[in-house]
Chains A and B, each alone.
Chain A
Amino acid sequence: MPDYSILVVEDEHTLRRLLEYRLGKQYDVRTASNGEEALERIAEKIPDLIISDIMMPKMDGFALQSAVQKNKETSAIPFIFLTAKADEQSRLKGMRTGVDDYITKPFDIEQLLSRVNRLLERTKVFQEQLDAKIGQDFSRRLLPKNLPDVNNYRILFHNNPREHGGGDLFDWMEAAPGTYIFTIGDVMGKGLQAKFYAFSFLGYVRSTIHAMLRSTHSPAELMNRVNQVLMDDPPMEETFASLLLVKWEPEKNLITYANAGHCRPVLVGPDGCKVVEYSDMILGLDPHAEFKDTELQLPDNTAFMAYTDGLSEQVMVTGDMAGEGGIMKAASKAFAELDPIDSLLKNILLQSKVPEFGDDILVFWLQRKGLDWFAPFPEKVDHQ
């Protein structure tokens, strides 16, 4: 049960205590005995819902409701009036001023509880819809609109952001003619907050890379700088991210990467997989962390595959997470398929406890084509 906070405003002591007791079983309840006190409570912490009597000394319910509505921060808080049964005038006035509900005294506590529930539920649904909308917008912006198109290479990318997923990010740029830099990362956390951090973090990464390109193309040097930014800049204090920076020079079939605590990439070929092992510490934790470049000569007919932890943390039928082992097994099987990423994901889902992914999924596939790679697709022609 979410920890909703409710403010009860009632001058009559017994009733106030009763409401505090009954609502307190489900919610975090605070009380006030008149409108003035209520505004003080609200200033301390904004409640998720207000239940208020109308007739009270000092400041009555109408004055409170109007003060709450005037304040932008509080104007959307659901408001329930408690009115005396006979007081039809107040009820009508309450309806006019935009009160969400009213309960006539003496009231049935169960009825009050169910109305409170319903109002909070509605607010929650509304909030979730809004979050989902903003989240989708962030996710879209965190994705590339196109991919490099280079002879003799096949580049694939798949991303499936979930509403409650994390802060996966992917980006690429052509640093110089024939030199590309790919950015694959994951900002820690879940939901909208993580997506927002990922979005701002990607901005940092992009501007850092752009600013440094004139002096270096070394992923490790870029990584050092990004880590410094995360460590030194107060707004980024709570941001931790794993990041894989990959420099790719297709003419030389050369990959140079620096890995800051990100899921280790895999080389996939016709004979199976191999982990690209070397990596350094995750970003944002240690100001003295050092990052190292590692070079890889990409063999013929081999793919360099990178992914985020949504894939490795997928829970399998065994109850364990897929991990590197599970991913490599699925990738080996998928290698020869027309759409290897799609096939890889299907293979993993087949082994999953629940047949859908629980988190964001991001897979990047950079494949050097084989010598026998001719259109339409390498097919066995033995029998001809």
Chain B
Amino acid sequence: MTSYFVQACIYLCAAVIAVPIARRLGLGSVLGYLIAGVIIGPITGMVGKETTSIQHFAEFGVVMMLFLVGLELEPKMLWNMRTKLLGLGGLQVGLTAGIITVIALILGQQWSIALTIGLIFSLSSTAIVLQTFSEKGLNKTEGARSAFSVLLFQDIAVIPMLALIPLLALPELTELANHSAHAGEHHGEISLVAGMPGWAHALIVISVVTAVVTGGHFLSRPLFRFVANSGLREMFTAASLMLVIGIAALMSVVGLSPALGTFLAGVVLANSEFRHELESNIEPFKGLLLGLFFITVGAGINFDLLTSKALLITALTLGAILLKALVLYSLTFIFKVVKSDRWLFTLSLAQAGEFGFVLLSYSVQNSVIPTELAQLLSLVVAISMFLTPGLFILFEKIILPRYQASSNEREADSIEEQGTVIIAGIGRFGQIINRLLVANGVNTVVLDHEANQVELLRRINIKSYFGDATRPDLLHTAGIEEAALFIIALDDKERAVELTAHIKHKHPKLRILARAFDRGHGYRLRHAGAHFVVSETYYSALEMGGEALTSLGFHPFRANRQKDTFLETELFHQEELYQTWAEATEDNKFNESYREIFMRLESLLHKAMNDPQDNEAAGSERGWTPPPKNYSDKLE
């Protein structure tokens, strides 16, 4: 037991120290984990052989990652991106894989190994690239958007690759594996399909996939609603894990890739109201497991190999980067990515990616690539990733300045996409806001912690998600970083104030519109940082007041004007009342001076409303006051 704790502590310590430093240096978290692994592995030797077994466990992070990739894939979004996704992404992966395969063949590799290498190097690093884009504020550029399509295609392409690689197994390596590990894992695994005829296997596979799709569609919702209604957050986490692990287990049993199964489940659930909640629950597990995986990759780096074959490794790395860049650069001509965007696209995707490690370790397991070669390639992948920040610096410092002068007049025609509006709380209040926004073509993400309410709204086609909007991780998955506006319409007064303060603190640039219950709550929301506050009852009460005046015989136009006068008078004193409230002590917010101002407001209101019969004191009813009697005599 003690040794487990010590080991866990070493891994966590290394990660906690190395990852933040790497991020600060602009290297990204993947490289941080790799560095951590290098330090605790080859350099200090604090961890040893167990890394291999940990790696198998950590690979589950990939399964989770593909689940999350699936969750992100809304059919509508995919359809909108179809040209770039299939064209740009498909050509990039196809061309790069093809050329590298040919080169590997020329260098004397067997065709199956060459193809595997080609596939591995066709991928880029989603983690590093996307993070760098958002850190450098390049997200909205055409180059970054094209790069995103390519990365998305690569993420999806990993799944067929995982299915293809086992078919490329080399007979001699398989034999070797069988010999060396007689009681190895592969034999110990439970398998339903072992020894079955081909048609039965196929039948089982089809029925399992159908089960995942239909089950995911029809059974997951009642299950999650049941769990959500318990109100226990950890139960939802447990249910999310159960779903992912359960599907992975089912897939393994029938001999399919667990990654494929969870990816499918993710796609099925992409439209579910529980999507953001699932994402925020799985995300930390995925992050840690993937981190662990990269640490083990780092720990497994063979330094002897690096020093003994330094020249070869350098040549391979630079060759791979150059070749990938060349393919990307030529694609920009077909897809009309121009000027500085062309270079951003080319340089940002020229490295190999973290999926390279996954595929490498998977290939070794499946006896596709010999271990020594895998170690060598692993180094090439890692070094190309280490060079990525350098390529971004090259772009920023040398290429961008060249285009800046000439692109000034062009800047305006790149249409800024209208950001999403997040609405927290979709009760009576939030619904109206959402309907108005959606009817005007504004994208909204609606969050509510009442599963039943969300279900109800989904039935009337309001796209809403289950989840507690006051949780930072959920806000993250709901896309608060890219949101244009945040609307708080929570039923809970305290939480509304807390959420306002939290957003103001974490995302100071985001504009917050908040619904208040009463005057005091409104002041507190404003104090917490809300940019616009409206009391939920204010305008409806005013509307009814106006209707009352009309019913009493006031002319409708006049009643409307009186309402406006009321509003203006209130507005005029709002600031003074708020300041008095803000300056007062905590326990006596509505103190004597506040009451005094309020009473003054009341009397002013009275005066403003009063209809002055004489023309001399027309007051606020100055509009359309008739001239005095006999006024025309003086005009003669």
State whether these chains interact.
no
Chain B residues with CB under 8 Å of chain A are none
Chain A residues with CB under 8 Å of chain B are none
